[in-house]
């Protein structure tokens, strides 16, 4: 059985703040790690997608090196505080956002970066954050909280073994996400042809409008639309309903029903569902507001909006 040892994060890492920048610096200059890039990636991407003009002094003070851990510094909800992203290579000339905190290893051979990346995203560490976070108008991570945070680590060789395996899985997930993004782009292209340009296949397989399909004027939309089409609302066909408020303290977290809140995935577990399988949810708040998920299983919808095509079990619209 693997033995775990408790460490304080403050004993393993030095905490630093990000760059204080102005609007004039944004969008040009050197590579820049933003809040959203860190929030949405277990590991920093190969190329940072944002730019921020910075000088040599700023680049030295707010640098990004292999092994650095970045945590989201502030959020409207505790669930999105101290979300981690880890650098597995150096990023020359890059700086990072003031809405992030950087944890730089004090010495090598203590905490393996690829292992830490997954550990800090685990339910175990999330529980630690929930117990220590300061919540006023916004959740906030400061040096006092940092000094309280403990993590449990196996021997370094075991960290390497586990971290490398999980990193390989994450890379595979990344590849699949790129494929999904390409498929989504294709779907958007098809949508544009069919429902914006109205060149969906007609009865002969030809593009409808370009092939002379009949168009009629819509007073409501102030444009021509295909004959037989009419404007309507989503609620004519589906149920749009808010979730039911629940917290991790009031939920039975020993259950196996996923509680869907404001994040990209689920937040924790409960012992009963309030919506059945084949449910669409839309995140209602936070950094991932508007994110859409499709659930093949029963869920407990919390801080989200639910869209259902089968309304029979939930009353009228």
Q: Yes or no: is domain 5-153 CATH 3.90.330.10? A: no
pLDDT of residue 137: 47
User: E strands within 4-92?
Assistant: 5-8, 13-17, 26-33, 50-52, 69-72, 74-75, 84-86
List Cα–Cα distances, 114 to 67, 69, 117, 156, 171, in angstroms.
Answer: 8, 10, 5, 11, 12
* Annotation: CATH topology of 234-308: Adenine-n6-DNA-methyltransferase TaqI; Chain A, domain 2 (3.90.220)
pLDDT of residue 285: 78
Answer whether 113's CB lies under 8 Å from 87's CB.
yes
Tell me: pLDDT of 314 over 70.
no
Give dist(CA 247, CA 268) in Å, integer.
9
pLDDT of residue 187: 95
pTM of full prediction above 0.75? no
The backbone torsions φ and ψ at residue 152, rounded to the nearest 5 degrees and listed phi first, read: -110, 125
Give dist(CA 245, CA 265) in Å, integer.
17
Give dist(CA 252, CA 93) in Å, integer.
48
pLDDT of residue 176: 95
Give the angle 81-39-268 at the CA atoms, nearest 5°: 55
Determine the distance from the C-alpha atom of residue 313 to the mean position of all C-alpha atoms in its chain, rounded to a whole number. 31
pLDDT of residue 79: 73
Q: Would you say the CATH fold of 234-308 matches that of 5-153?
A: yes
Tell me: pLDDT of 217 over 90.
yes
pLDDT of residue 313: 52
- In terms of Cβ atoms closer than 10 Å to its own Cβ (0-12, 13-18, 19+), residue 69 is buried
Give dist(CA 46, CA 44) in Å, integer.
7
| Residue in the structure block whose two tokens are 């956002």 | 97
Q: Give the SS3 label for residue 152.
A: strand
pLDDT tens digits for range 93-124 = 999 999 999 999 999 999 999 999 999 999 88
pLDDT of residue 215: 96
Average of per-residue pLDDT values in the chain: 89
Range in 58-62, 142-146, 187-191 the model is least confident about: 142-146
Q: Could you tell me the residue ranges of all domains in the chain?
A: 5-153, 170-226, 234-308
pLDDT of residue 1: 63
List Cα–Cα distances, 23 to 10, 110, 191, 210, in angstroms.
Answer: 33, 39, 35, 45
Average of pLDDT values for 181-191?
A: 96
Segment holding 294, helix H or strand E: strand 292-295
Segment holding 151, helix H or strand E: strand 150-153
Answer whether 57's CB lies under 8 Å from 18's CB.
no
| Residue in the structure block whose two tokens are 């009228």 | 316
Neighbours of 59 (CB within 10 A): 17
Average of pLDDT values for 188-209?
A: 95
Segment holding 95, helix H or strand E: strand 95-96
Segment holding 304, helix H or strand E: strand 304-308
Neighbours of 302 (CB within 10 A): 24
């Amino acid at each position: 059985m693997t033995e775990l040892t408790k460490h304080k994060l403050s004993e393993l890492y030095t905490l630093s703040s990000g760059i204080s920048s102005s609007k004039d610096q944004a969008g040009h200059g050197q590579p820049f790690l933003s809040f959203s890039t860190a929030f949405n990636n277990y590991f920093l991407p190969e190329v940072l997608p944002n730019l921020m003009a910075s000088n040599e002094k700023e680049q030295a003070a707010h640098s990004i090196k292999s092994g650095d851990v970045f945590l989201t510094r502030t959020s409207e909800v505790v669930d999105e505080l101290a979300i981690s992203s880890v650098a597995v290579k150096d990023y020359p000339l890059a700086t990072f956002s003031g809405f992030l905190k950087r944890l730089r290893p004090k010495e090598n051979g203590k905490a393996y970066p690829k292992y830490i990346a997954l550990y800090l995203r685990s339910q175990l560490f999330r529980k630690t954050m929930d117990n220590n976070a300061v919540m006023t108008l916004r959740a906030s991570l400061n040096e006092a909280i940092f000094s309280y945070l403990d993590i449990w680590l196996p021997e370094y060789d075991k960290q390497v073994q586990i971290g490398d395996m999980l990193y390989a899985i994450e890379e595979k997930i990344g590849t699949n996400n790129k494929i999904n993004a390409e498929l989504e782009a294709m779907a958007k292209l098809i949508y544009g042809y069919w429902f914006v340009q109205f060149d969906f296949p007609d009865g002969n397989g030809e593009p409808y409008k370009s092939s002379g399909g009949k168009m009629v004027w819509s007073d409501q939309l102030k444009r021509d639309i295909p004959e037989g089409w009419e404007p309507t609302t989503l609620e004519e066909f589906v149920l749009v309903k808010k979730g039911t408020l629940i917290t991790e303290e009031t939920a039975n977290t020993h259950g196996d029903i996923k509680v869907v809140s404001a994040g990209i995935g689920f937040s924790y577990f409960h012992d009963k569902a309030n919506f059945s399988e084949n449910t669409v949810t839309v995140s209602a708040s936070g950094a991932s507001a508007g994110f859409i998920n499709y659930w093949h299983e029963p869920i407990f919808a919390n801080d989200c909006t639910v869209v259902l095509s089968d309304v029979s079990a939930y009353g009228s619209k």
